[in-house]
Amino acid sequence: MVMGAVWDTLWLNLSAATMAVGGAPYGLIEDAAIGISGGRLAFVGRRADLPAPPGTLAHRVRDGEGGVMTPGLIDCHTHLVYGGDRAREFEQRLGGASYEDIARAGGGILSTVRATRALDEDALVAASLPRLDALLREGVTTIEIKSGYGLETDTELRQLRAARRLGELRPVDVRTSFLGAHAVPPEFRDAPDAYVDLLTREMLPRAAEAGLADAVDAFCERIAFSPAQTRCVFARARALGLPVKLHAEQLSDSGGAALAAEFGALSADHLEYLSEAGAAALARSGTVAVLLPGAFYVLRETQLPPVDRLRRHGVPIALATDCNPGSSPICSLLLILNMGCMLFRLTPEEALAGVTRNAARALGLDDRGVLAAGMRADAVLWRIAHPAELAYAIGLCPRAGTIRTGELLPQDVGHAAISASR
């Protein structure tokens, strides 16, 4: 132990892409120093601005070996917990069937509902772990996971419990969203309003009561729920004190974004068909636009989300995997960075902000997403020279180490690229 040490760890010999607003692009600090104390960032700045010689400031000094540190990555929209797969539908779509045709014929989401209802909690966890592990290998430290493949009380709650368990089994923060309004279940095929009634009277209150829902989501679309039905779900969420978010304007302009904004939604997601008025509404309510290029790609969508419109209105943009078995069987947030740039024409800096600063905001978390003093010390050290490399390369994972609440993950300790120098 160093006499008079104030911090637990001090990282040196690295640059920091802090993603803080207002400074250099990426909030970049070259020749940076990052001090960590009690799981929080205590110092984020230039090494030259350290208040004392490094060895006297921390119990442990770590060498970043010339890499780049970013905030821990945040995947703010996933349907990661489910049973089965939809590879056969993938074949059908390649043969010409559309996503909506398959959904109307009882496949799509409902096929995953059948497979998910058949699994107990352990089996759901086991099926989901490989997907989670793939995301963690790329530096994800916070993930949102939705229900929505149960569409009846027990399975919805089981999905949410499985999601919580994943957060106990792995070094990641899991934020759950109740998405009982994902599709109309077969039992209510001819009475969707009765399902919404059950959802608002029983399913959602049970999830809230059990502490299993951090937020409430819905799919507002012609193949799912109308704006009027979505409003009922949101009103119940509000009464229960839960924030809302919405799958909006994915396949058509249903006015979902304006509805989400009216309820002060944390985020409105997808948004390919977002109108000018919808964008203005999101801006007014401070709602984050979560873009999902994986679903755009897999569905061979041609309608681009109006990125310029979002920029003009000053709507914060986040990016996420939408990891799900139908429209986005993708477990790589780094690939999503590349797709955000190549398909949606985001800049690499916007893309990185989309999986850090703005993704945190989309989850209502104000203690992460940027590297700044006082924030949670969730960070990733990358073996790269410039942050644009994260969006640029495909199939290469340059992660050298993940830091969660101040601690380098045990599996990354002793990693070739990271050595403790004292």
Residue 112 interacting entry, from ligand DI6, Fe ion, none, C-beta within 5 to 8 Å by type: ligand DI6
Q: Which is nearer to ligand DI6, 112 or 267 (CB)?
A: 112
Per CB under 6 A, which of residues 327..346 are in contact with ligand DI6?
327
Contact 176, 145 (CB under 8 A): yes
Size of the site for ligand DI6 (CB under 6 A): 14
CA 144 to chain centre: 5
Contact 109, 116 (CB under 8 A): no
Distance CA 402, CA 379 (A): 6
Say what the alpha-carbon torsion angle 218, 219, 221, 223 is, to the nearest 10 degrees: -120
Q: What is the 3-state secondary structure (H, E, C) of 238-252?
A: HHCCCCEEEEECCCC
Residue 141 interacting entry, from ligand DI6, Fe ion, none, C-beta within 5 to 8 Å by type: none
Contact 363, 341 (CB under 8 A): no
Neighbours of 364 (CB within 10 A): 14
Neighbours of 137 (CB within 10 A): 15
Does 324 contact ligand DI6 by CB under 6 A? yes
Binding segment (CB under 5 A) for Fe ion, from list 231-239, 307-315, 322-330, 377-385:
322-330
Per CB under 6 A, which of residues 344..403 are in contact with ligand DI6?
none
Please, what is the minimum distance in Å from the beta carbon of residue 250 to ligand DI6?
Answer: 6
Does 18 contact ligand DI6 by CB under 6 A? no
Q: Give the per-residue contact string, 235-264, with ligand DI6 (x = CB under 6 A; - = no).
A: ------------x--x--------------
Distance CA 19, CA 17 (A): 6
Instruction: From residue 348, give the alpha-carbon distance in Å to each of 2, 78, 316, 389, 392.
Output: 40, 22, 15, 8, 8
Q: Which is nearer to Fe ion, 14 or 220 (CB)?
A: 220
Does 75 contact Fe ion by CB under 5 A? no
Does 62 contact ligand DI6 by CB under 6 A? no
DSSP-assigned letter for residue 392: H
Does 219 contact ligand DI6 by CB under 6 A? yes
Q: Which is nearer to ligand DI6, 15 or 177 (CB)?
A: 177
Taking CB atoms, the residue at the shortest distance from ligand DI6 is: 326
Q: Give the per-residue contact string, 267-296, with Fe ion (x = CB under 5 A; - = no).
A: ------------------------------
Q: Which is nearer to Fe ion, 11 or 344 (CB)?
A: 344
Q: How many residues does the chain have?
A: 422
- Contacting Fe ion (CB under 5 A), which of 8, 144, 322, 378? 322
Does 144 contact Fe ion by CB under 5 A? no
Give the DSSP H/E element, type plus range, for residue 279.
Answer: helix 276-285
Per CB under 6 A, which of residues 254..313 are in contact with ligand DI6?
295
Binding segment (CB under 6 A) for ligand DI6, from list 34-42, 226-234, 260-268, 321-329:
321-329
Rounded to 5°, the CA angle 369-372-378 comes to: 50
Q: Which is nearer to ligand DI6, 28 or 181 (CB)?
A: 181
Taking alpha carbons only, the member of 227, 372, 346 closest to residue 289 is 346
Q: φ, ψ for residue 380 (rounded to 5)? A: -130, 135
Distance CA 167, CA 88 (A): 31
Binding stretches for ligand DI6 (CB under 6 A): 79, 108-109, 112, 182, 219, 247, 250, 295, 322, 324-327
